[in-house]
A and B are shown apart, each in its own frame.
Chain A
Amino acid sequence: MISFDKVTKRFGSNLALRDVSFDCDAGTVHAITGENGAGKSTLMNLLAGVFPADGGEIRLRGKPISPERPADARRLGISTIFQELTLLPNLTVAENLFLGREPLRLGTIDRSTMRERARSMIARLGSRIDIDAYCGELSVADQHLVEIAKGVSVDAEIFIFDEPTAALNAPEVEKLGELLASLRAAGKLVFYVSHRLDEIFRFCDRVSVLKDGQHVETRATKATTRDELVSLMVGRVLSQFFPARPARRDAAPVALSVEDLRVDADGPQVSFELRFGEIVGLAGLEGQGQRDIIRALSGLEPGAGGKVTKSGEAGPTPIGTDVVKTALAGIGFVPEDRKTEGLYLPLSIGENITLGMLRRLPIWRMVRGRPHVIADLIRRLNVRSAGARQAVGELSGGNQQKVMIGRWLAAGIDVLLLEEPTRGVDVGAKAEIYGLLREFTDGGGAVLTVSSELLELLGLCDRILVVRRNEIVAELDGAQATEEDVMRYALVGHADA
């Protein structure tokens, strides 16, 4: 029904998809899987009309198509349930379900029909969401359900589910499975983008694996195993990327002490210590509060109570209430989203790095450019660029990430808070970034990181704190912990399951 033929897509200098070719049939649930950044969502976005391809052809029943807008895709019979929510917070559930195809009667919106049909759509998912509630009031899980209800209610031949279960609970995932089966029975083609292997084996008929923007293989799920899929996805032994861990430093001085921090006014308290010389990771399922903890420490979204102190030459400094003061205390925060929160894309590499070095200076002080320092740093970070004057926006993801971390290294801070240290970064640059972080801690710094890639935390961290429902439920030794250990704590909160 759909054929991808040498489909290519680039973002700036980054090749997100390279010559991807495979076919998909009607009446199947087709899984698209791969590591983070493998190009799964990019491929689906081409089909959904979010952006056009740069090369190759997508054919629908043999006819080439190139949807340029989501509306075009919908007209072609392609309905997408996006990973990011597309619900409008100021419309009700019913209105959101029919936005763009509102039923009319005498030129006005037919609200009774709309609500009636909305109710049955929600009921089909086995949910009790109030259809008159504004979507902004709903929990994230409920919003995802509404999104799914909206996607499948479209009269389409092809359905794309982009990581639909990220925010769902077990019973809702079951319902989703039934829904997928009914779509298959109706002869539709369903794309199921996920890296949750058990769901792929339970729900899907075929699976295509992407790696680094390339198509690796497409197989029937019955004809393959978990281990085979994993080896197709990773292709390289991960441990080679990670720098060696030094001996544990339980006696090293404390860099950051967190006492009774609450990220949620009536949530549980969090207490832990971060020592100089170590890398500590916060692990857990998506949206369990890891990110809130690190953002509270950075002072961006101050916590609702508790005490955070940073030790330094001038004695302990309270931090976490104000971004500017936190940065002044010698703490660098590297956000997940480089483009909107991290870098100054139009400015040069040199300017981006210099901004970190100015941290302690009064704003009226005159400064001279320090081309040697910057050139040295660029060399040390191994940023591949045309020179310090090149705009950061023109660099690849990995090099951008290095500049963002390098800015804090140049600033002379001794504690680094990182969100997703290698999001959207190619494999080679990942290893270099891990090396940089270890170099930083070996030189006396301390790192606290949040990552949704568990393997990354297991390979990099000295200690792993597992977070569940805004609470630290376990502390594991990074060198000994296994994926299963962490997942058990993350899922149920205690060791026996």
Chain B
Amino acid sequence: MLDLARKSRRTGLSPIVLALPLVLFVLLCLSSATFRSLENLANVNSQIAALMIAALGQGIVAISGGIDLSVGSVMSLTSAILVTADPAWGVPLALAMGVCVGLVNGFGVTLFRVHPLVMTLATMTFVQGVALLLHPVPGGTVPSYLRTLAVSQVAGLPAALFWCAAAILLAWYLLNRSRFGMRTYAVGANPVSAGRNGIAVTRLKVACFVLCSLSAVVAGIFLTARVGAGDATMGNPYSLDTVTAMALGGVQLAGGTGSVLGIVAGVITLGLMSNGMNLLGVSPFLRAAVTGALLLVAIGLQRREAIGA
């Protein structure tokens, strides 16, 4: 426990962050028999997988001191690309698109010094436009191999679990074991100091934005494959949901503080809430309102010095 408190300077983890999903889980188990069923648990897993993948990317950008509101639009455009492009080219095209969006965000924020919120708001709008242009009406078919990858079961375990596990492992390696991760924490805490330590701050920040967009593309691929159809507005809620999840997980929007474990806890918290309200028959629109309220609470509790956007 002492170790947790000490490390929270870096990880942002607190007992509340970790306890929240567990308490929710227990409460839901006690209050709903449907919730306890294996099918529903598998369902929760596949519901949160896309959010998990995208939120980990968002978390990396946030730790580097930025934020990316274009995550949702990138997921939508991915969906549009997958059902309109040649099946063989869909995935590479989507990934290339992710790299482009990430580069635009990254260079806009670093070289042109646009505030990350404004910059990614701009790309969010633009990318949404492209997605609608490409695929105005929901529908179309997803390449069958993707569908298999997203919905089949391996050894009785749903594929979504493997998508989540892979994303978590990769993020954990990047943030906790690689040079890139340590430098990301450094840049997020103080880019000027990090620069004086010989770190290429611009390059690193751009890399974070590219990673985030790529993770949004992967999240979009999974979501499209799971739903089985393309939808150019599919990603809409994800821009803010990823921010909510990581803020719930103790990631500080000011940069330099956050952890994979926290983000996972935040995603699970959000996923359980959503699933629970669904089971309790709460209107899906009210669920959006609750997410908004949750976001307000989560960022209201953050410590932040700067005044402004």
Q: Interface residues, chain A, CB within 8 Å of chain B? A: 50, 69-71, 74, 80, 82, 85-91, 95, 99-102, 104, 107-109, 134, 136-137
Contact A90 to B185, CB < 8 A, known contacts A109-B179, A134-B10, A136-B9: yes
Does B36 sit at the interface, judged by CB under 8 A?
no
Instruction: Give every chain B residue within 8 A of A85 (Cβ-Cβ).
Output: 193
Instruction: Give every chain A residue within 8 A of B194 (Cβ-Cβ).
Output: 88, 99
Instruction: Give every chain B residue within 8 A of A50 (Cβ-Cβ).
Output: 196
Q: What residue in chain B is nearest A106 (Cβ atoms)? A: B177
Q: C-beta contact mask, B183-222 vs A, less than 8 Å → 1, else 0?
A: 1011011101111111110000000000000000000000
Cβ contact within 8 Å between B197 and A99: yes
Contact A99 to B199, CB < 8 A, known contacts A108-B177, A108-B178: yes
6 pairs from A and B in contact (CB 8 Å cutoff): A88-B186, A90-B9, A91-B182, A91-B186, A99-B186, A101-B198
CA distance A210 to B195 in the complex (A): 28
Q: Within the complex, what minimum Cβ distance (angstroms) separates A41 from chain B?
A: 14
Does B57 sit at the interface, judged by CB under 8 A?
no
Instruction: Give every chain A residue within 8 A of B179 (Cβ-Cβ).
Output: 102, 104, 109
CA distance A101 to B185 in the complex (A): 15
Cβ contact within 8 Å between B195 and A70: yes
Instruction: Give every chain A residue within 8 A of B190 (Cβ-Cβ).
Output: 88-89
Contact A70 to B186, CB < 8 A, known contacts A87-B193, A104-B179, A136-B9: no
CA distance A301 to B64 in the complex (A): 29
Does B224 sit at the interface, judged by CB under 8 A?
no
| Cross-chain contact of B9 among A71, A104, A134 (Cβ < 8 A) | A134
CA distance A101 to B173 in the complex (A): 18
Instruction: Give every chain B residue within 8 A of A137 (Cβ-Cβ).
Output: 6, 9
Cβ contact within 8 Å between A70 and B198: yes
Contact A107 to B178, CB < 8 A, known contacts A74-B198, A89-B189, A100-B198: yes
Does B59 sit at the interface, judged by CB under 8 A?
no
CA distance A422 to B58 in the complex (A): 46
Cβ contact within 8 Å between B198 and A71: yes
Cβ contact within 8 Å between A95 and B189: no
Q: Within the complex, what minimum Cβ distance (angstroms) separates A216 from chain B?
A: 29
Instruction: Give every chain A residue within 8 A of B197 (Cβ-Cβ).
Output: 70, 86, 88, 99-100
Beyond the given pairs A70-B198, A71-B200, A134-B9, 10 more chain A to chain B contacts, judged by CB atoms under 8 angstroms and listed by A's residue number, are A50-B196, A88-B189, A88-B256, A90-B185, A90-B186, A90-B256, A91-B186, A99-B182, A107-B178, A137-B6
Q: Within the complex, what minimum Cβ distance (angstroms) separates B164 from chain A?
A: 22
CA distance A282 to B232 in the complex (A): 66
CA distance A102 to B180 in the complex (A): 10
Does B244 sit at the interface, judged by CB under 8 A?
no
Q: C-beta contact mask, B5-22 vs A, less than 8 Å → 1, else 0?
A: 011011000000000000
CA distance A312 to B189 in the complex (A): 45
Q: For chain B, residues 136 to 192, give those with C-beta under 8 angstroms from any C-beta of chain A.
A: 173, 177-179, 182-183, 185-186, 188-190, 192
Instruction: Give every chain A residue within 8 A of B188 (Cβ-Cβ).
Output: 90
Q: Within the complex, what minimum Cβ distance (angstroms) separates B180 from chain A?
A: 10
Q: Within the complex, what minimum Cβ distance (angstroms) separates A52 from chain B?
A: 15
Q: Within the complex, what minimum Cβ distance (angstroms) separates A448 from chain B?
A: 27
Does B105 sit at the interface, judged by CB under 8 A?
no
Cβ contact within 8 Å between B182 and A86: no
Instruction: Give every chain B residue within 8 A of A107 (Cβ-Cβ).
Output: 178
Q: Within the complex, what minimum Cβ distance (angstroms) separates B146 from chain A?
A: 29
CA distance A74 to B188 in the complex (A): 22
Cβ contact within 8 Å between B182 and A102: yes
Does B257 sit at the interface, judged by CB under 8 A?
yes
Instruction: Give every chain A residue within 8 A of B196 (Cβ-Cβ).
Output: 50, 70, 80, 82, 86
CA distance A462 to B219 in the complex (A): 70
Q: Within the complex, what minimum Cβ distance (angstroms) separates A261 from chain B?
A: 25
| Cross-chain contact of A109 among B9, B182, B192 (Cβ < 8 A) | B182
Cβ contact within 8 Å between A99 and B178: no
Q: What residue in chain A is nearest B194 (Cβ atoms)? A: A88
Instruction: Give every chain B residue within 8 A of A134 (Cβ-Cβ).
Output: 6-7, 9-10
Cβ contact within 8 Å between B6 and A100: no
CA distance A86 to B197 in the complex (A): 7
Instruction: Give every chain A residue within 8 A of B7 (Cβ-Cβ).
Output: 134
Instruction: Give every chain B residue within 8 A of A95 (Cβ-Cβ).
Output: 182
Instruction: Give every chain A residue within 8 A of B198 (Cβ-Cβ).
Output: 70-71, 74, 100-101
Q: Within the complex, what minimum Cβ distance (angstroms) separates A126 from chain B?
A: 24
Instruction: Give every chain A residue within 8 A of B193 (Cβ-Cβ).
Output: 85-88
Instruction: Give every chain B residue within 8 A of A74 (Cβ-Cβ).
Output: 198
Q: Within the complex, what minimum Cβ distance (angstroms) separates A57 from chain B?
A: 24
CA distance A99 to B256 in the complex (A): 14
Q: For chain B, residues 57 to 83, give those with C-beta under 8 angstroms from any C-beta of chain A.
A: none
Q: Within the complex, what minimum Cβ distance (angstroms) separates A107 from chain B?
A: 7
Q: What residue in chain B is nearest A82 (Cβ atoms)? A: B196
Instruction: Give every chain A residue within 8 A of B199 (Cβ-Cβ).
Output: 71, 99-100
Cβ contact within 8 Å between B195 and A91: no
Contact A88 to B195, CB < 8 A, known contacts A109-B179, A134-B6: no
| Cross-chain contact of B257 among A70, A90, A100 (Cβ < 8 A) | A90
**7 nearest A-B pairs in the assembled complex, by CB-CB distance:** A100-B198, A86-B193, A71-B198, A108-B177, A100-B197, A86-B196, A90-B10
Cβ contact within 8 Å between A109 and B177: yes
Q: Within the complex, what minimum Cβ distance (angstroms) separates A81 from chain B?
A: 11
CA distance A382 to B179 in the complex (A): 54
Cβ contact within 8 Å between B9 and A89: yes
Q: What residue in chain A is nearest B177 (Cβ atoms)? A: A108
Q: What residue in chain A is nearest B195 (Cβ atoms)? A: A70
CA distance A20 to B36 in the complex (A): 77
CA distance A424 to B15 in the complex (A): 47
Contact A99 to B6, CB < 8 A, known contacts A74-B198, A89-B189: no
CA distance A225 to B179 in the complex (A): 50
Instruction: Give every chain A residue within 8 A of B177 (Cβ-Cβ).
Output: 108-109
Q: What residue in chain B is nearest A87 (Cβ atoms)? A: B193
CA distance A104 to B177 in the complex (A): 10
Instruction: Give every chain A residue within 8 A of B178 (Cβ-Cβ).
Output: 107-109
